[in-house]
Amino acid sequence: MKILHKFLFAGIAAATLSTSCKKDLLDVNPRDQLSTTVFWKSEKDADLALTGLYNYLYATGGNWGCSQYEIMGWDGYTDDVYSQHDYGGGRAATSSGITPNSGGYVANYYANNYRALAAINSFLANVDKVLTGDKLTQYKAEAHFLRAFNYLYLAQLYGNVPLITEDPFTLDFNKGIAKASKTAILEFVLDELDIAIAGLPDVGYTTGHAVKATALGYKVRALMELKQFATAAATAKQIIDGNKFSLHTNYAANFYKAGQRTSPEIMFSVVFLAPNIVHADAALNVAMHRWGGFAGTQNLIDEYEEGDPRLTMTWFFAGDGADKGWPFDDPAVASPGSGEWPANFYIPKKWLTPGVRNPDYGLQGDNDYVLLRYADIKLLYAEAQNEAAGPDASVYQQVNEVRDRPGVEMPALPTGLSQAEMRERIRHERRVELPLEGIRYFDLRRWGIAKEKINGFAPNPVFPDIQLKYEEKYEYWPIPQTEIDRNKGLLEQNPGY
C-alpha cells in the first residue's frame, strides 16, 4: 500500500508534530529525511514519538474543523441529525450516496488511520532501542491500544482491509498487499487489546493516555461487532467491578471542559487545551450553533420520554432564553426558520460551554471530544447480557442506573420485559443517552437496521420529499478511489463500487 510509502517517515516524524490544531497538522517536511539513524537515541525520543501517536487523533476529518474524531459529525449519517452544511460528509453520503470518490469521513478515516498505523508500527519496531522495564511495557501497551483503536474503525467502516504490522521502513511497497477479512481484522484487534490490557496502568483516566479500562472498553466494542455477547458482557463487567469509573452526577458536564476535568465517567477522549490545542477557527461552535450544521431531527426529539431532562440538556428549543442557556443575545440567531437554520429543527446544546455568548470565529474552544464514556459501557453490558442470557436483574440494574443518575432521575424500567422488549428499551436508551457522540451510526449498522432506519427517512417532516439514502453495500464502505489509483490496481475495491 503506497499510502504507507508516502508516510514512511511514520513514527519518526509523528514525534515532531506540533500540538497546535491546524488543517496541515500532518504536513511535516522533509518527509524523506528523518530516519531511525538520527532519531531513536534517547528516552526523550520515545516520549516525543508516543505523543506523536496520539496526535493522529487530531488528523483532518474533511472540509471542516480539526479532527476526524469530531464525533458529532457522525450523526449527520443517521436519522438523529440533519447536517445542513455537510460537516463530515454526512449530508452527501445520505443524499447523493456513498461512492469511492466521496469526501468527508468516507475518504479520511481510511487515509488517516493508515497514516496513524504506519507511525504505530514504526514506534513498536524501534521503541525498545531506548526504553526498558516498566516504561517500555507501558509505552508498547499504549501503542498496541492505538493500533487496535485504528483497526477497529477500519473494520467497522470498510470491512476487509489490509492488515499491516511491519515497520514501514522495511516494507516493499512495489508488491500488492492482500486484504484481510473483517473477522480477521477484529480478531487482531482483540489480540492487540489483550496486550494493551496487560500492560496499561489500572487507574482512572485523567491524562489523555489510555488506561486499562480504556482498552477493556474498546474490547467490548470489538466483541459486540463480532456478536460475541457473553464475552462482551463479561468484559464490560470487569470495568464495572473495577470501580475505577462512575456516572457523573451532572450529565451535561461531560461535554464541556470544566466538567470534563473531574469527570469520573470519561474513559477516552481527544484532549484539547487552550490556547495551544483548540478547535480550529472555532469550527465546532460556529458549525453547531450558527450554521445549522447539526440540527436535531423531529424523529430524535420524539424519541425522548416525557420529562426526560436529557432532552433539554442536549437541545435548545424555540423560546429558550438566557435562563435556558441560549447563547445568542439576538434571539433570532440560530432560531429554527431564521438565518442558516431551516424550520422544524433543533439546535444542539451538548458540547457548548455554558455561559458562552455569541459563539463565533475567534472563540478558542477546547472542550474534549469524548470517545468513550462509562454510561456507554453500562448500556453495552446490558445489551450483551440481554442477548446472551435474557433480561436478568443485572441488565435492569445497569440500564436503570444510567436512567437514574442525579439530575436525570428517570423512572426504572417496568419489570417483566421479554428479551425482545428489553432489546428495544436498551436501543432507546442508547439513542437518548448518546446523541452527538458518534455512536448511533455504528449502532444501527451493528444491529443490522441501518437501511431500515436511514433509507427513505425524511429528516424534516416539513419537506417529506427530502429523503435519506442507505444501500446494502454501505455495510462496507468503498476504498477511496485515490488509494485504488495510488496502488495501481494492486488494491481490490470493496464489492458493489
- Does 391 sit behind a cis peptide bond, omega within 30 degrees of 0 on the bond before it? no
Of 333, 365, 397, the position where a domain reaches its end is: 365
Q: Is 186 domain-assigned?
A: yes
Question: Do 14 and 118 fall within a single domain?
Answer: yes
Does the structure show a pLDDT above 60 at 37?
yes
What average pLDDT does this structure show over 78-99?
Answer: 90
pLDDT at 14: 42
Segment 180-186 mean pLDDT: 97
> Of the ranges 172-181, 267-276, 300-309, which is most confident?
300-309
User: What's the predicted TM-score (pTM) here?
Assistant: 0.93
Residue 312 predicted with pLDDT over 60 = yes
Are residues 191 and 45 located together in one domain of the fold?
Answer: yes
- Span 407-436, average pLDDT: 98
Within this chain, do residues 334 and 193 fall inside the same structural domain, yes or no?
no
Q: Are residues 290 and 155 in the same domain?
A: no
Determine the 3-state secondary structure of 267 from DSSP.
strand
Q: What is the mean pLDDT of residues 439-462?
A: 96
Query: What is the predicted pLDDT for the residue at 20?
Result: 37
Distance CA 272, CA 66 (A): 11
* The amino acid at 14: A
170 and 23 part of one domain: yes
Which residues have CB under 8 Å from 55's CB, separation 6+? 14, 17, 19, 25
The helix/strand/coil state of 450 is helix
270 lies in a domain?
Answer: no
> CB-based contacts of 464: which residues, under 8 Å, 6+ apart?
458
Q: Looking at residues 37-56, what average pLDDT do you find?
A: 94
What integer pLDDT is reported at residue 286 of this predicted model?
83
Q: What is the DSSP letter of 341?
A: P
Cα distance between residue 65 and residue 365, in whole Å:
11
**pLDDT reading at 31 higher than 90:** no
Burial of 208-217, coded b for 16+ CB within 10 Å and e otherwise, reads ebbbbbbbbb
5 and 152 part of one domain: yes
Q: Is the pLDDT of residue 346 over 90?
A: yes
CB 108 within 8 A of CB 60: yes
For the chain, how many structural domains are there in total?
2
Amino acid of residue 197: I
| Structural contact between residues 145 and 214, judged by C-beta atoms closer than 8 angstroms | yes
Bond from prior residue into 354 cis (ω within 30 degrees of 0): no
In one-letter notation, the amino acid at residue 58 is Y
- pLDDT tens digit sequence for 224-240: 999 999 999 999 999 99
Q: Identify the bridge partners of residue 315 per DSSP, sorted by sequence position.
A: 348
Last residue of a domain, one of 365, 400, 435: 365
CB within 8 A of 273, min separation 6: which ones?
366
CA distance 277 to 261: 15
* CATH code for position 153: 1.25.40.390
pLDDT band at 67; cut points 50, 70, 90? low
15 and 140 fall within a common domain: yes
Contacts of 132 (CB under 8 A, 6+ apart): none
pLDDT band at 147 (very low <50, low <70, confident <90, very high): very high
Mean pLDDT on 266-281: 88
Strand partners, 277: 273
Question: Are 173 and 313 members of one domain?
Answer: no
Same domain, 177 and 295: no
pLDDT surpassing 50 at residue 247: yes
pLDDT of residue 168: 86
Overall average pLDDT of the 196-216 stretch:
97
Give the mean model confidence (pLDDT) for residues 382-400. Answer: 98
Do 297 and 195 belong together in one domain? no
Domain holding 360, by residue range, is: 280-365
Nearest to 90 by CA among 69, 120, 62: 62
- Pair 355, 484 in one domain: no
4 with 96, same domain: the answer is: yes
Averaged pLDDT, 416-440: 98
C-alpha–C-alpha distance, residues 224 and 194, integer Å: 16
Q: Of the candidates 348, 365, 382, which is a domain's last residue?
A: 365
- Note whether residue 332 is domain-resident: yes
Strand-pairing partners, residue 348, are: 315
User: Is 124 part of a structural domain of the chain?
Assistant: yes
Cell of 435: 446523541
Whole-number Cα distances in Å, 359 to 209, 263, 352, 403: 30, 24, 9, 31
Average confidence (pLDDT) over 41-69: 82
